[in-house]
Structure 1
Amino acid sequence: MIMTGRNITKRKSAAGAAGAMAVMLSACTVGPDYREPRPLTPSSWAAPRPGDSDAGSLTSWWDRFDDPTLTLLQQLADASSPTLAQAVARIDQARATLTSRRAEGRPSVTGSASYTHSEQRLGTGEQSITINNDGVQAGGDASWQIDLFGKVRRNTRAARARVEAREGDRDAARVSLAAEVADTYIQYRGCEQLSALYRQQAQSQGETARLTRISANAGFIAPADAELTEASAASVSSSLTDQTAQCDLLVKSLTSLSGLEEAALREMLAPRAGVLPEPTAFEVAAVPADVLRQRPDIASSERELAAASEEIGVAVADLYPSLSLGGSLSTGSGARSWSFGPSLSLPIFDGGRAKAGVRSARAAYALQLATWQEAARAAVLEIEQALVRLDAARARQADAARAAQGYQANFAAIERLRVAGSTSMIERESARRNALDAQRTLVDLRIAQARYWVALYKAVGGGWNADITFVPSANGALVREN
C-alpha cells in the first residue's frame, strides 16, 4: 500500500489528538477523597496524671531510668530482634508494591530479537543443490494504560499509605520490644531484691532454729518450739528456692530478647545487682487526641484506613471505560512494519462484578474505620488504666514503707522479749511473718510502680513531646509540623 503525505499527516494528527485526549481525560478521578477522621476521645484525661515540679517531656524516655545496663539491653534487643527484622521486610515488600503500582501508569516498552538458520537440499546425488537461509528479525512493542478515571493514581496512593502503615508497624514493634525488655529487666531486679530478702530471712531463721534445737535438747525449752522454728526455716528456704528459680526464668527471657549468651548476660547484669531502676516522673498533660496521633499502632491503622478509602476509587473506576495506547515495530528480511493506535474497553455487561467490587471496597473501608476507632478507644483505656495504676502504686508505697518499718520494729522488740523469756515462740513467729510480708509488699509495690511507668511509656506511644504540633497535609491527614 502506498501512503501519501496527506495520509501520513492524518495519521500523525490522529495520534496527537489521541494523546491530547488521553492527557485531558486522565485529569478525572472518581471515588471519595480521603479525610482523616478524628477519634471520639474525651477532651481531657479522667485519671490523675503523675508528675512533679521537675517533670519533663518524654523525648528520651529510657534515659529517665538512669540505668546504663537497661539502655544497653534495649540497644541489643533492637539490633537482633527477629520481630523487627520481619517488620522491616514487610516495609520492603510494601515499597516494592508501591513501585509496581507507579509503573502501571507509565509507558512500557519491550524489545525482541530472533535469529534463524535453515538449510534446504534440492535434487539428488551429484545434481543436488543446498540452499542456506539466515534470517534476523527485530522488533518492539509499546503500551501505555491511560489513567482515565484515576485508577492508577488511587492504587498508587493506597500503596503509599500501606508503606506508611508498615513503617508504623515497625515503630510499634520497636516500642513494644523496648517496653518488654524494660518490664522484664525491672522484674528481674525486683526478683533479686526479693531473693536477697528471703536469703537474709533464711539465714536468720536457720540460725534461730539451730539455737532453739540446742536449747530444746538441753531441756530449757519445749521440743515443740524447736519443731516450730525448724518448720519456719524450711518454709523460708522453700520460698528462697522458688524466688531464685523465678530470677533464673527472667534471665532466660532477657537472654532471648537481647540475643546474648546467658553467661555474657549474667556478667553484664552483675554490677548493678539488686538495684531497681526508678524513672524520673513526667507529665501527660496533652489531650487524648494529640497523644493518639503519635502512637505508631494508631498511625498504622489510620494509614490502612486511607488505603481502603483509595481502593474505593479503584473499584469505582472499574465501572468506567479504559483507554490504552499501543504500538509495535518489526524489521527483518528487508521488510519493516509498524502500527500505532488507541484501544478503548467498554464495560457493557459483567454480571454485576464491578458493582460488587465497589460494595466490597466500601465494606472494607467501614471495617477498617471500625478497627481504627476500636484501636483508638483501646489506647485511651490503656493510658487511663496505666495512670490509675501508677497513681495508686505511688500512693500505697508511702504507707507500705511505714508498715514495713513498724512490723520490723515490732519483730525486733518481740525477739528481745523471747530471748529474755517473756514471750512465746508462737508470738515471735507471728511477728516475723508480719515483718516479712510487709517487706515483701513494699518491694512488690516498688516493682509494680516501675512497671506501671513502663506501661505508661508504651501507652503514650514510646515518647511524648508537648511542643509538637500537628497541621493538615494536602490529603487532609494531620502530620507533625517540622
Structure 2
Amino acid sequence: MYKAPLPRALSAACAALTLALAGCAIGPTYRAPAPATAATWHAPAPHDGNAVSLQDWWAQFNDAALTQFIAWAEAGSPTLTQAWASIEKARATLTTTRAGALPSVTASAGATRGGTTGTATTTTRSAGLDASWEVDLFGRVRRNAEAASARVEAREADWHDARVSLAAEVADTYVQYRACGLLADAYERELDSVAKTEATTATMVQAGFTAPSDGALARASLASSRSTAINQRAQCALLLKSLVYLTGRDEPELLATMAAGSTAVPQPAHLSVDSVPAQVLRQRPDLASLERELAASSAEIGAAQADLYPSLSLSGAITRSLGQSLTTWSFGPALSMSLFDGGARRAAVDSANASYTSALAGYQQGVRAAVREVENALVNLDSTRQRATEAHQAAEEYRRYFNATEANWRAGTASLLSLEDARRSALSAEITDLTLAQSQVSDWIALYKALGGGWTPGAAVTTNKNGAQP
C-alpha cells in the first residue's frame, strides 16, 4: 500500500507551530470592571420577620392561578423563543469562529473518458486530498473566539432577563385584574345604592316632600355612577385581554382557572434585600449581559490588532491517478502581509476601541439604572405600605360616616346633598384603599424584578427552542 509523506510532514509542522505559538495572542487583557456603587442603600429597606429569598418567590403568593399563568406564559412565549434563537445563533457563530483555527481538508475524485479519431477510448480516474491551515500567529482567531464565547454568555443572560421580566409582567397584570374586579364590585354596590336613592327621591318629589332640584341631583348622581361602573368593567376586560396576550390562552380557560381560587388581591411574602448594593448588582442578568458584551468588545480589539501583522498558512495536496499509478503531492508555507490598504486595518482597530468605549459606557449606565430601580422600588414600597395603613383606616371611618348620614337622611334630618357628599367620600376612600393594596403588591413585584428575579451567575438556560420548560 502506498503511503505519501505529506500527512506526516503536515502533522509534524502543525504540532510544532501549535506548541510554539499557543500562548501568542496580542491585544488587551480583559478584566471585568467593578461596579461603582455606594456602600449601602440610601432608601429604607423593607424589614419583616418573614422575609424570604428571591428563589421560588412566586410560590409564596399561595395563588394557584398566578403560578399557572406564569407557567403558561413561559411555555409559549414568543419573547423567550426569540431569546433562545439568539442563543443558538451565538453558539453557531462560536462554532464557526473556532473552526477557523483548525485545518481544513477537502477530498475530491473524478473520472474522465476521452480519445482521438482512430485511437481507442481511454478512461482516466483520479482521487485527491487538499489540506490547508492558517496558523493563528498573533491570536486573531482566538480573540474572535473569545468574543463569540462572551456573546453566547450575554445571550444566555438576556434569556434569563426576558424570563424574569415576563414573570413580573404576568404577575403585575394578574394583580391589577384582581384589584380591578374588587373595584368593579365596589362601583356596582355604589350604583345599586345610588339607584335606590334616586328611586326614593323621585317618589318624594312626586309627593311634594322634597324639591325638584333634589330629584335632578339624584338622577345626575345615578348617571355618573353608572358611567363609572361601565368604565371600570371595561378596564377589567382590557386587563383580561392582556393576560390572554401574555399567556397565549383563551379567555374562558383563564376565567375558569381564576374562578377556582380567591378573588382577593394575592399577598406575597416579603423579600429580603442584601444590604450591599454590589451584591445585588451581581444578581441582575441584564448587567451580566452588558458585562459580557464589554468582554467581547475587548477581545475584538485584539483581533483587529492581529490583522496588522503577517499571516502564515500551510497548504498541501495529494493527487493519485488510479489508472497510471501516478501520485503527485505538494506542501509548503505561505506568508502574506498587507503593504498598503489605505488605512483600513488601522481604522478597524480604532473602531474596535470605540466599540469598547461605548460598551463600557453602556455597562456603567446599566449599573446606574439598576441602582436607581432598586432605590425607587424601596422608596415606593415604603411609602405605599405606610399610606395603605392610613387609607384602610380612612375607608373604615368614611364608611361609618356615610352609614350615619344615610340614617339621618332617611329620618329627615340630613339633606340629599349631604348624603351624596358622604357617599362620594366613602367611595373615594374605598377606592384608595383597594388601589393602594394593589400598588403595594405591584411594588413588591417591581422590587423582585429590580433585584434580579432570583437569577444567579452561571444559571443554566433550561428551555427548549419553543420556550417551554422541560
One fold, TM greater than 0.5?
Answer: yes
* C-alpha distance 442-9 of structure 1, shift in aligned 2 (>3 A): closer
Q: What residue identity is the alignment partner of 1:176?
A: S
Q: Quick one: distance in 2 between partners of 1:17 and 1:408?
A: 91
Task: Tell whether 2:347 aligns with 1:351.
Answer: no
**TM-score, normalised with respect to structure 1:** 0.90
Q: Quick one: distance in 1 between partners of 2:129 and 2:337?
A: 27
* Superposed displacement of residue 275, structure 1: 1.3
Q: Quick one: distance in 2 between partners of 1:451 and 1:433?
A: 26
* SS of 2:81 mapped into structure 1: helix
* C-alpha distance 13-197 of structure 1, shift in aligned 2 (>3 A): closer
* C-alpha distance 209-338 of structure 1, shift in aligned 2 (>3 A): same
Aligned to 2:69: 73
Check whether the contact 1:26–1:146 (CA below 8 A) recurs between aligned residues. no
Q: Choose the corresponding residue for 1:460, options 426, 448, 451.
A: 451
* Superposed displacement of residue 30, structure 1: 0.5
* C-alpha distance 65-117 of structure 1, shift in aligned 2 (>3 A): same
Check whether the contact 1:98–1:160 (CA below 8 A) recurs between aligned residues. yes
* SS of 1:121 mapped into structure 2: coil
Q: Quick one: distance in 1 between partners of 2:357 and 2:235?
A: 46
* C-alpha distance 274-227 of structure 1, shift in aligned 2 (>3 A): farther
Q: Choose the corresponding residue for 2:293, options 301, 304, 315.
A: 304
Task: Tell whether 2:61 aligns with 1:59.
Answer: no
* Superposed displacement of residue 285, structure 1: 2.5
Check whether the contact 1:101–1:155 (CA below 8 A) recurs between aligned residues. yes
Task: Tell whether 2:149 aligns with 1:160.
Answer: yes
Q: Quick one: distance in 2 between partners of 1:319 and 1:60?
A: 52
Q: Which moved more, 1:244-253 or 1:136-145?
A: 136-145
Larger radius of gyration: 1
Superimposed CA distance per residue, residues 146-201 of structure 1 (whole angstroms, 9 cap, x where no aligned partner):
11111111111111100000001111111111111011101100100100000111
**TM-score, normalised with respect to structure 2:** 0.92
Q: Choose the corresponding residue for 1:104, options 93, 96, 100.
A: 100
How many residues end up aligned between the 2 structures? 454
Q: Quick one: distance in 2 between partners of 1:14 and 1:56?
A: 62
Q: Quick one: distance in 1 between partners of 2:251 and 2:436?
A: 28
Superimposed CA distance per residue, residues 442-469 of structure 1 (whole angstroms, 9 cap, x where no aligned partner):
111011111111111111111278xx99
Q: Quick one: distance in 2 between partners of 1:110 and 1:435?
A: 84
Q: Choose the corresponding residue for 1:248, options 237, 240, 243.
A: 237
1:2-401, aligned counterparts within 5 Å? 16=12, 20-21=16-17, 23-122=19-118, 131-272=120-261, 274-332=263-321, 333-334=323-324, 335-401=326-392
Aligned to 2:402: 411
Superimposed CA distance per residue, residues 222-246 of structure 1 (whole angstroms, 9 cap, x where no aligned partner):
2221221221121111111000000
* Superposed displacement of residue 57, structure 1: 1.5
* Superposed displacement of residue 277, structure 1: 0.8
* C-alpha distance 15-182 of structure 1, shift in aligned 2 (>3 A): closer
Moved over 4 A (4+): 8-19
Q: Quick one: distance in 2 between partners of 1:451 and 1:78?
A: 20
Unaligned stretches of 5+ residues in structure 1: 1-7, 123-129, 470-482
Q: CA RMSD in A?
A: 2.2
* SS of 1:354 mapped into structure 2: helix
* Superposed displacement of residue 17, structure 1: 6.2
Q: Quick one: distance in 1 between partners of 2:298 and 2:188?
A: 62
* Superposed displacement of residue 11, structure 1: 12
Counting aligned pairs with the same residue, the percent is 49
